[in-house]
Structure formats: C-alpha cells, structure tokens
Amino acid sequence: MKRLGPWLTLAAVAVLGLIVLVINMSKDTEPSTAKTNTAATTTAPTTQAPPSTTTPAAAPFPAKADYVGKIPLASGGTVTLEITVAGDKAIAYACDGKAIESWLRGSTTNGSLQLTGKDDATLTGTFDGKSVQGTLWIGGKQWNYTANPVQPPAGLYIYSEAGTRQSWIVDANGGVTGVQRNPDGSTAPAVTLAPDATAVVNGKKITANKISGGDSVG
C-alpha cells in the first residue's frame, strides 16, 4: 500500500491540472466567440425602401366649377387667381387689384389645364379631385399656385361699358380683388363690388355678370 501513495498523488495532480486547463481554454474561447458575433452584427448591411416617386393621377373636372388661389409676390402684395371650368373649356383670370391682370382661356383634358393669353401668358394645372395645382406665367414671371374650390357667390365677375371693363374675383371669404382696364389699355383698381354683385360705375348702380368657363371674355 505504501508503494501506491506516490502514484495516487501523481494521478490527483494530473486530474487537477486537466481541470485547470479546461477552465482556461473555456475562458479563452468565449471572448473570441462574442467578438465574432459582434462583428457579424455591426457589419450586417441595412436596407431602406426607395423613396416613392408616385404622383397622384389627375381626376376629371366637375361639369361646372370655380377655383380661387392666392399667389404671394416676392416684391410684396398678392396675385389672386380664379379658374372657372365649364365642360371641356376653362377661363382663368389673374390680377393684383392694381395693375397686373391677365385673361387666359383653353381646354380641360383628363383633369389637366392648358390655358393661354395675351403677351405669352400661360397657365398649366392639374386637378387632383379637390384642388387645382400648377404654374402661371405672366410677363416673363413664373409662379406656382394652388386654387381651391369655391361656391357662389364666390367666382369671377365683369362689367363693361364704353370700352372700360371692370373685372373682379370674389374668394371663399367674400374678399374682392379687381382691376379696371380703360380704353387706352391703362389699368387702375376696380370700383367696389358689393356682396350682391352690384357696383356703382359712372354714378349709376350696375349688376356685374358672373363668368363661367364657356363664356367669351378677355
């Protein structure tokens, strides 16, 4: 029995050494696994959906409708725009209530407008089922606009006498913007238009005519 003592001691030492070795190997391999997983996570590519390039399709215009929009001017003031549609025809009138004014006319096709006027004035627009959005060119200047639907008595009105024409736009809030064009082509602010579409011109009370897209005016 005494001879077995050294062998048992050696065996115990060997077992203890093996246990220590296994523990050390376990500690050495765990961090590398974590690093590998972290690297895989951080380098994984991310994907993003491409931005939508779809634009709303144009909607057909109602059989008869009016739209009014306001265009701020960089120099101050505002150009008021009225578009009136009747069937496949449309008229637009833009004015600032002082000197700027332009009449444009043309057709509606599949919810789109293409109107032209004097001095290369042009209006394009698309109806999205609620409002008309597009671009207006007058005198070499260009503005984007949005015109929203309005109901009577809002709309476009005129009165002509002795070569002088008064033109008014009435917006959804009852505000009035108008220009008077004289026989010599000069312009001035239009006379006041009352809520009942009457005005006093040259000392007499008149009733303005409401314009629709199919009328001949401008």
Report the mean per-residue pLDDT for the chain.
Answer: 82
Do 180 and 101 meet the contact criterion of CB atoms below 8 Å apart? no
Show the DSSP H helices in the chain as ranges: 4-43
Residue 63's pLDDT is 94
In a domain, 49, yes or no: no
Cα-Cα-Cα-Cα dihedral sign, residues 202, 203, 206, 210 = positive
| Residues 110, 4 within the same domain | no
- Across the range 209-213, mean pLDDT stands at 95
Number of structural domains the chain divides into = 2
In a domain, 39, yes or no: no
Which letter does DSSP use for residue 46 in this model?
-
- d(CA 33, CA 165) in angstroms, rounded, equals 87
Six-digit token pair at 113? 């407008």
- d(CA 213, CA 93) in angstroms, rounded, equals 11
In a domain, 203, yes or no: yes
Residue 35's pLDDT is 40
Is residue 106 within a helix (H) or strand (E), and if so which, with residue range?
A: strand 101-109
Q: Which long-range contacts (CB under 8 A, 24 or more apart) does 135-141 make?
A: 136/71, 136/79, 136/81, 136/92, 136/94, 138/79, 138/94, 138/100, 138/102, 139/100
| Residues 70, 178 within the same domain | yes
| Residues 178, 89 within the same domain | yes
> pLDDT-derived band of residue 214, with 50, 70 and 90 as boundaries?
confident
Q: Which of 212, 213, 56, 80 is nearest to 129 (CA)?
A: 56
| Residues 12, 88 within the same domain | no
- Across the range 191-207, mean pLDDT stands at 96
- ∠ CA(202), CA(209), CA(183), 5° rounding? 45
In a domain, 72, yes or no: yes
* The model's pTM: 0.73
- d(CA 170, CA 151) in angstroms, rounded, equals 10
| Residues 84, 13 within the same domain | no
Domain that holds residue 4: 1-32
